[in-house]
Amino acid sequence: MKVSQMLNPTLREVPAEAEVISHQLMLRAGLIRKAAAGIYTYLPLGWRVIRKIEQIVREEMDAKGGQEVMLPIMQPAELWKESGRWDVYGPEMLRLKDRHDREFCLGPTHEEIITALVKGEVRSYKQLPLLLYQIQNKYRDERRPRFGLMRGREFIMKDLYSFDRDPESCQVSYQKMYDAYERVYTRCGLTFRAVEADPGAIGGTGGSHEFMVLAEAGEAAVVFCSDCSYAANVEKAECLPRPVAGDDSLKGKQGEVYTPGTKTIEEVANFLGVKKTSLLKTLVYKGDDRFFLILVRGDREINEVKVNNVLGPFLNLRMAEPAEVQAILGCEPGFVGPVGLKADIFIAADLEVAEMKGAVCGANKKDYHLLNVVCGQDFVPNIIADLRMVTAGESCPKCGGKLKEARGIEVGQIFNLGTKYSEVLKATYLDEKGQEKLIYMGCYGIGVSRTMAAAIEQNNDEDGIIWPMPIAPYHCIVVPVTLKDPQVVATAEKLYTELQALGVEVVYDDRDERPGVKFKDADLVGYPLRLTIGQKALQEGKVELYYRRTRKTELLPIVQACQLVKNTVDSELSLGK
């Protein structure tokens, strides 16, 4: 491909709308253009990257016995009503009506449609296990589409669904996918980590893992052990309890204390001269039409995912408004506590709260707190469970080692669903004895377009993108420094043709531009290799090979140059294979 013919509009300026590096570089390198918020057009070079990621995914899915299908994007509402998710999905689902007023959605995911398919086609245990997948656009009307391809409203996903006869066999399929995912991201040249995850709205009881590309711009926080293999999304992360000593300054004190204007944990601790670990943090939540009191130690943060799981996932839980708290408990949120409640409210306490020797909490009265309150005596929680965020430095739940924190971009997630969907959609098979049994399912997603963004977040410098060879739009660019010297041009064209013949994906910069302009564009787009043909070196029969990642250059005899490029490309492509 000749650069003069290529639709590759590069930009010198950083576009104002782009907050993260990957979004900035994708716009600047001419890989994508925005059509609407969270909706993008892929230009030729961007699309080549997508196709390469897709191909790696395809090969690894096929290697595990996956069969590619194509499911409809437009899906009838009835199926979603049958599974109960038409209402659960909420405003994230893009809904539409046809001319007969029938309801449809644009698929945010495909469990319903594929389960219905398998229900209709699979009769016998002999047809199982079955691994079906597709690569296509998904639609989610995200509340905050942002960061370019990272969080789009239309995005490309690979989704595979596994169908098995029992939990054991389902676990085998799950492990196959876990292994395939590790291969996919390794082959894409990414640094990643598989972490234990919360299954969220997709659901299922058999466990879930997320695959995180480690990068500062990541929206997710992950916790991992420095001594063993334990790693989890913070939403899911657990740790060993670490009891704290009681507060001497509270000894012997009891009852109400006047704490004017102290609404935050910080203010109360300072005013009373006690440690934050001696305070009880009490938050009021509302779910459906009920109120809940959530208690954690003063120095802790509430983990809403854990709270949701403990209290039931379909409560639409949210923090109560100050006016709602005032109405039901008769005081401002800052002075709420679990003792002597005016209303019958469900109390959920974190594990650590049950261990506190004597705590300070709100007195449910403006400007007052209570001293030395003890869980189990002064108030009795309806439930005691792990409800808090784990922080770096705490102890690993598996080995007691020190936990660390990192940021990650979720590029894939796998779910062991059990019978969640087969039960509601009645997907069954007949076993050897002719008995009807429920199918066990798993689902496995890879964000293909997000993976492209994540790759850039992890591989860039001040001049542009540094593509890992396996997903680079082209492997090499040939740059003649001038078009005025016929010998330079002839050599460049010859090398370009030769590289093509060797099967190297190569671009020829035939533009009549200054070398500086060509080099800048090549660095920005991120071609892993650049072969430069200059007048001086040519007189000695040499050309220059430039490695984008290391920025090192090498002078090579012309006769050897193409083979060396080919060898470098081949060796980098074989990584992880």
Listed ranges 284-292, 407-415, 420-428, 555-563: which one lies at the site for ligand ATP (CB under 6 A): 407-415
How many positions of this chain bind Mg ion (CB under 5 A)? 1
Binder of ligand ATP out of 445, 464, 468, 470 (CB under 6 A): 445
Q: Which does 215 bind (CB under 5 to 8 A by kind): ligand ATP, Mg ion, none?
A: none
**Contact of 256 with 369, CB cutoff 8 Å:** yes
Tokens standing for 551?
């920025």
**Nearer residue to ligand ATP within complex by CB, 148 or 473:** 148
Q: Which of residues 187-216 bind ligand ATP (CB under 6 A)?
A: 202
Tokens standing for 425?
């959609």
Q: Which does 151 bind (CB under 5 to 8 A by kind): ligand ATP, Mg ion, none?
A: ligand ATP
Provide the pairing of β-strand 464-465 with 460-461: antiparallel
Provide the pairing of β-strand 318-319 with 280-287: antiparallel
Which residues, other chains included, contact 456 with Cβ-Cβ below 8 Å and sequence gap of 6+? 21, 22, 25, 26, 465
**Residues 537, 535: Cα–Cα separation, whole Å:** 6
First to last CA, the chain: 28
- Provide φ and ψ at 207, rounded to 5°: 105, 165
Q: Which of residues 408-427 bind Mg ion (CB under 5 A)?
A: 413
Identify the DSSP state of 360: E
- Based on the shown chain and the rule CB under 5 A, indicate whether residue 8 belongs to the binding site for Mg ion: no
Binding mask 124-143 for ligand ATP (x = CB under 6 A): ----------------x-x-
**Contact of 477 with 8, CB cutoff 8 Å:** no
**Nearer residue to ligand ATP within complex by CB, 188 or 363:** 188
Residue type, 309: N
**Contact of 346 with 382, CB cutoff 8 Å:** yes
Whose CB is nearest to Mg ion?
413
Q: Which does 411 bind (CB under 5 to 8 A by kind): Mg ion, ligand ATP, none?
A: ligand ATP
Q: Which of residues 89-128 bind ligand ATP (CB under 6 A)?
A: 109
Tokens standing for 448?
């293909």
The number of CA neighbours under 13 Å toward the Cβ of 164 is 20
Q: Which does 449 bind (CB under 5 to 8 A by kind): Mg ion, ligand ATP, none?
A: ligand ATP
Residues in the chain: 577
Identify the DSSP state of 163: E
User: Per-residue b/e over 140-163, b at no fewer than 16 CB within 10 Å?
Assistant: bbbeebbbbbbbbbbbbbbbbbbb
How many positions of this chain bind ligand ATP (CB under 6 A)? 16
**Nearer residue to ligand ATP within complex by CB, 304 or 570:** 304
- Based on the shown chain and the rule CB under 6 A, indicate whether residue 412 belongs to the binding site for ligand ATP: yes
Binder of ligand ATP out of 107, 447, 470, 528 (CB under 6 A): 447
Binder of ligand ATP out of 411, 465, 471, 562 (CB under 6 A): 411
Binder of ligand ATP out of 115, 419, 449, 532 (CB under 6 A): 449
- Based on the shown chain and the rule CB under 6 A, indicate whether residue 450 belongs to the binding site for ligand ATP: yes
User: Per-residue b/e over 495-533, b at no fewer than 16 CB within 10 Å?
Assistant: bbebbeeeebbbbbbbbebeeeebbbbbbbbbbbbbbbb
> CB of 410: closest distance to ligand ATP in angstroms?
4
**Residues 257, 362: Cα–Cα separation, whole Å:** 10
**Nearer residue to Mg ion within complex by CB, 372 or 413:** 413
Binding mask 147-186 for ligand ATP (x = CB under 6 A): ----xx--x-x-----------------------------
* Contact set with Mg ion (CB under 5 A): 413
* Contact set with ligand ATP (CB under 6 A): 109, 140, 142, 151-152, 155, 157, 202, 410-413, 445, 447, 449-450
